[in-house]
Amino acid sequence: MRLVQLRKPAAVLAAGQSVGAGDDGPVLVDRLERRVRYLRVSLTDRCSMRCTYCMPPEGIEHVDRSEVLSLEEVARMVAAFAAWGVERVRLTGGEPTLRRNLTWLVQRLTQLRTPSGAPLRVVMTSNGELIERLAGPLKAAGLETLTISLDSLDRERFAAITRRDKLDQVVAGFAAAHAVGLPLKLNTVAVRGFNDDELGALCRFAWQHDATPRFIELMPMAGGRLFVPGELMPAAEIRERVGAELGAVVELADQPQGPFGPAQYYVLRGGAHDGRRFGTIAAMTENFCGSCNRLRVSATGQLHACLARDDAGDLRGALRSAQGEAGAAALERVVRTALGHKRDAHGFEQTGEGGPRKAMISIGG
């Protein structure tokens, strides 16, 4: 890959890396020479649920709506990233389905092309509550994959962890997405003492819907305020439990995602589910920062180079400062600075210290 500078704002280049040029056109490369291919965009800091590890029960200060990027601004910003070689965008939140005209945005983004001519790949993570109604329109709009989060199949446990009695809606959303042929993933935060006896059942539920289950290690966001250290279930233990519950040996699988995503995939050998796959996302015990290829944008247009750090660049200011060439140049300055600050490690400690002061809902999960 050639790294040819497109423009040279000296101060920024001295701090880090660049928007360069690969064989197919521009690429984003950080100061550690990692190529950024994946953008996660939070569409809102609001949610219809209150998961205990993500949001406090009350006292949440939502930003004023005028501070949140409009969907037109999101589309303009993502178009710039696609032109710089970002290949995949994940819409998230908060709960992205709470945004009106979401399908308009998905349709708009799937029409974008990367410099190689390939369509931008658009995926989304949702709590599933409104998916029963939205699955068809999202599929028609070109959504490539939908990830639905679900931590328990037990109604009381579901209500306890989300503080909402909405299991039926989420299950119906899962079924609807499956019925319209949306490729699905299931995200479960594995919480010791809470759902560690349900990992096999959640795998079976996912496979029944042709979905890939993935188990996430609990991370200490919000200054560790919502994190209980003993509840962290290390990925090695997750794999052991899945194997034991399903009577199978767990082996590392071929990784289907190429350069995308933090999940590591495994395959079951033996037992009734021979050949089935699941993933773990192990930020805490099997650090994957070295191969990080992501940038994140919060609902207010803050550009985060790392989920575990509070510092961020102001894309919204750049977006609102100017249109056209001048607007694109302003965006590029913010992106260059973020690439120059991208770290090679997060600060999460298993004690709950070291993470960002911001909550997941403010940065975007």
Site for ligand SF4, rule CB under 6 A: 47, 49-51, 54-55, 93-95, 127, 149, 360-361
Identify the CA nearest to 276 among candidates 329, 200, 225, 351: 200
Identify the CA nearest to 232 among candidates 352, 152, 360, 365: 352
Question: Does residue 94 have a known ligand-binding role?
Answer: yes
Residue 298 touches which of ligand SAM, ligand SF4, none (Cβ within 5-8 Å per kind): none
Identify the CA nearest to 344 among candidates 33, 115, 4: 33
Tokens 């569409």 sit on residue = 43
Q: Of 57 and 324, which CB lies nearer to ligand SAM in the complex structure?
A: 57
Interface residues toward ligand SAM, by CB under 6 A? 47, 53-54, 92-93, 95, 125-127, 149, 187, 189, 216, 218-219, 221, 360, 365
Q: How far is the CB of 177 from ligand SAM (least distance, A)?
A: 13
The dihedral sign for the CA sequence 19, 117, 184, 147 = positive
Residue 55 touches which of ligand SF4, ligand SAM, none (Cβ within 5-8 Å per kind): ligand SF4
Residue nearest to ligand SAM according to CB distances in the complex = 365
Q: Of 12 and 91, which CB lies nearer to ligand SAM in the complex structure?
A: 91
Q: How far is the CB of 35 from ligand SAM (least distance, A)?
A: 24
Task: List residues bridging with 35 in a β-sheet.
Answer: 29
Q: How far is the CB of 16 from ligand SF4 (least distance, A)?
A: 31
Q: How far is the CB of 224 from ligand SAM (least distance, A)?
A: 10
Question: Does residue 266 have a known ligand-binding role?
Answer: no
Q: Of 246 and 361, which CB lies nearer to ligand SAM in the complex structure?
A: 361
Q: How far is the CB of 342 from ligand SAM (least distance, A)?
A: 21
Question: Does residue 203 have a known ligand-binding role?
Answer: no
Question: Does residue 324 have a known ligand-binding role?
Answer: no
Tokens 């550009």 sit on residue = 303
Helix, strand, or coil (residue 312): coil
CA distances from 227 to 7, 49, 289 (A): 43, 18, 21
Contact 194, 221 (CB under 8 A): no
Question: Does residue 53 have a known ligand-binding role?
Answer: yes
Residue 221 touches which of ligand SAM, ligand SF4, none (Cβ within 5-8 Å per kind): ligand SAM
Tokens 């499956």 sit on residue = 178
Length of the chain: 365
Q: Of 273 and 358, which CB lies nearer to ligand SF4 in the complex structure?
A: 358
Which tokens sit at 18? 């660049």
Q: How far is the CB of 51 from ligand SAM (least distance, A)?
A: 6
Contact 339, 36 (CB under 8 A): yes
Burial class (CB in 10 A: 0-12, 13-18, 19+), 32: middle
For the annotated binding site for GTP, the residues are: 40, 90, 125, 185, 294-296
